[in-house]
């Protein structure tokens, strides 16, 4: 059962990072700029984040297996379009839009199916460890695999590989069974979907304007905040009218889940942000080829693999909040190594210790953060919380590429070649400290699943059952 779910998460995460090492090749081939390719990558991640909540709601209406298959089909079509793209606009259509929409449909069922299939914390930690580990490895191994393919064949072949893997996943998923029947009569909040997507889109697009047009930055960020406020007011009024909104406000009344979502967002922000910054810096300032840049990321991949393989053992020995805290501390140490060693040495080996330590830290806390959030709610809320959880994670990925990438790209012309790199990595270090603060506020025991009158559900699937 886990094989197609693990591979689906791997390919979606791979797609978000493998293009980083091919930025120079793509910009030359399509006659565009680094900022243009950065925009395509960010829009792919943003499309996933903006549509993940609507996608999760559709799993209840259409069924989890059907959404998974539909998402894989749309994603595969996007990969083919991107592989054949003659200009940046077509690449954005295939990669950013089609693959983004496909991901928003296929990712929520992964975590819903795993949550429903594994009821206790240890077995769920094992399942989430495999899935989240595949996501982390996909993101970390993306530069290596992408660099190898780009150097030996072409960056276009990376999209061909994605299409082939998607075909394999569709075949493997034929044997999957949906534990809950679809409910075609389930209402779908169309206005809520539009408002939430618009809010997140304006917010991230605004950040991309930093350094180019600060007036547009302010306008887009204000518009994003306004749409998100409108979304909240719409959800609240819909609930008061006795109707089902896109996202229940009760999801935000659980302290454990809220803090877990913050840690998830920052974890993926750090992973995608650091991958983008190091990749661009190596290619633009150090003149590294795609394969040489990708090879350096084997250190991060190894770190994520090692820590992911220990998830089941860690879940038995430590409280999940302890693992998350330790992960942030280790990740901050890794950012420190990337700043310190690279500032004092131009040797290629200066990048390896920091990337390895970051991989250890992030790989160790990806799973417990997901488990904390998903386990905080009963089965009837799994569709909603899965969509919110994945949306928050992918929003973190897009913000990581947008924030750190924009700082780096905007300052590449600096006379001090290390200055843009230091500024971008320094911003990631500050955000890692914020993530550590959120992890430190996680209580030892779980909070009620949704409301006080649902305490029986909490005892059945809640975080209160976590060891330690």
Task: Encode pLDDT of 57-114 as tens digits.
Answer: 888 889 889 999 999 999 999 999 999 999 999 999 999 999 999 998 998 888 788 8
For residues 67 and 173, state if they share a domain.
yes
For residues 149 and 200, state if they share a domain.
no
**What is the pLDDT averaged over residues 131-144?**
79
415 within domain boundaries: yes
**What is the pLDDT averaged over residues 328-335?**
96
- Spatial separation of the C-alpha atoms in residues 92 and 353, rounded to whole Å: 34
- Spatial separation of the C-alpha atoms in residues 240 and 300, rounded to whole Å: 48
For residues 308 and 362, state if they share a domain.
yes
183 within domain boundaries: no
Domain end call among 214, 245, 276: 245
**Percent of the chain surpassing pLDDT 90:** 35
For residues 282 and 332, state if they share a domain.
yes
456 within domain boundaries: yes
For residues 340 and 301, state if they share a domain.
yes
* Total number of domains in the chain: 2
pLDDT at 420: 83
The percent of the chain in helix, strand and coil, each rounded to the nearest 5, is: 80, 0, 20
385 pLDDT more than 90: no
For residues 231 and 298, state if they share a domain.
no
For residues 158 and 228, state if they share a domain.
no
Q: How far is CA 78 from CA 65, 75, 176, 284, in A?
A: 20, 5, 24, 28
- pTM of the entire structure? 0.78
Written as one string, the DSSP assignment of 419-449 is: HHHHHHHHHHHHHHHHHHHHHHT--SSPPPS
For residues 356 and 339, state if they share a domain.
yes
For residues 351 and 235, state if they share a domain.
no
266 pLDDT more than 80: yes
296 within domain boundaries: yes
Is-contact 268 276, C-beta < 8 A?
A: no
Burial 397-431 (b: 16+ CB within 10 A, else e): bbbbbbbbbbbbbbbbeeeeebebbbbbbebbbeb
- Spatial separation of the C-alpha atoms in residues 108 and 422, rounded to whole Å: 36
For residues 230 and 132, state if they share a domain.
no
For residues 110 and 241, state if they share a domain.
no
Q: How far is CA 83 from CA 93, 142, 159, 165, 207, in A?
A: 11, 16, 5, 14, 28
Domain span at residue 229?
A: 189-245
For residues 237 and 155, state if they share a domain.
no
pLDDT at 371: 82
**What is the pLDDT averaged over residues 431-443?**
94
């Amino acid at each position: 059962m886990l094989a197609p779910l693990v591979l689906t998460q791997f390919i979606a995460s791979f797609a978000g990072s493998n293009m980083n090492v091919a930025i120079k090749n793509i910009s030359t081939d399509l006659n565009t700029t680094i900022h243009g390719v950065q925009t395509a990558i960010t829009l792919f991640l943003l499309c996933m984040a903006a549509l993940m909540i609507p996608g999760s709601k559709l799993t209840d209406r259409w069924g989890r297996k059907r959404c998974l298959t539909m998402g894989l089909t749309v994603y595969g079509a996007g990969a083919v379009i991107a592989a054949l793209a003659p200009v940046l606009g077509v690449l954005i259509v295939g990669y950013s839009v089609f693959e983004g929409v496909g991901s928003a449909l296929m990712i929520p069922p992964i975590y819903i199916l795993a949550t429903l299939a594994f009821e206790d914390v240890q077995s769920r930690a094992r399942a989430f460890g495999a899935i989240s580990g595949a996501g982390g490895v996909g993101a970390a191994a993306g530069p290596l695999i992408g660099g190898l393919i780009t150097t030996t064949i072409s960056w276009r072949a990376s999209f061909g590989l994605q299409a082939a893997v998607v075909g394999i996943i569709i075949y493997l998923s034929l044997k999957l069974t949906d534990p809950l029947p679809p409910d075609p009569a389930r209402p779908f909040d169309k206005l809520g979907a539009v408002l939430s997507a618009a809010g997140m889109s304006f917010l991230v697009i605004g950040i991309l304007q930093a350094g180019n047009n600060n007036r547009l930055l302010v306008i887009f960020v204000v518009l994003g905040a306004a749409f998100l406020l409108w979304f909240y007011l719409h959800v609240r009024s819909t609930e008061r009218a006795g109707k089902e909104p896109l996202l229940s406000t009760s999801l935000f009344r659980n302290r454990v889940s809220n803090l877990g979502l913050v840690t998830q967002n920052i974890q993926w922000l750090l992973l995608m942000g650091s991958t983008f910054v190091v990749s661009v810096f190596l290619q633009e300032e150090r003149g590294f080829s795609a394969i040489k840049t990708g090879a350096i990321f084997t250190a991060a991949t190894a770190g994520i693999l090692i820590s992911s393989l220990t998830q089941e053992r860690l879940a038995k020995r430590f409280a999940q909040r302890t693992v998350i805290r330790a992960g942030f501390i280790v990740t901050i140490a890794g950012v420190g190594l990337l700043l310190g060693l690279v500032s004092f040495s131009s040797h290629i080996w200066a990048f390896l210790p920091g990337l390895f330590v970051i991989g250890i830290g992030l790989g160790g806390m990806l799973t417990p953060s997901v488990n904390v959030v998903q386990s905080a709610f009963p089965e009837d809320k799994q569709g909603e919380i899965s969509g919110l959880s994945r949306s928050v994670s992918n929003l973190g990925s897009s913000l990581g590429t947008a924030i750190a990438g924009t700082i780096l790209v905007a300052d590449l012309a600096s006379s001090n070649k290390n200055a843009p790199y230091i500024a971008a990595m320094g911003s990631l270090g500050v955000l890692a400290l914020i993530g550590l603060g959120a992890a430190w506020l996680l209580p030892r025991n779980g909070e009620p699943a949704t409301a006080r009158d649902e305490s029986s559900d909490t005892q059945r699937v809640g975080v209160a059952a976590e060891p330690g």
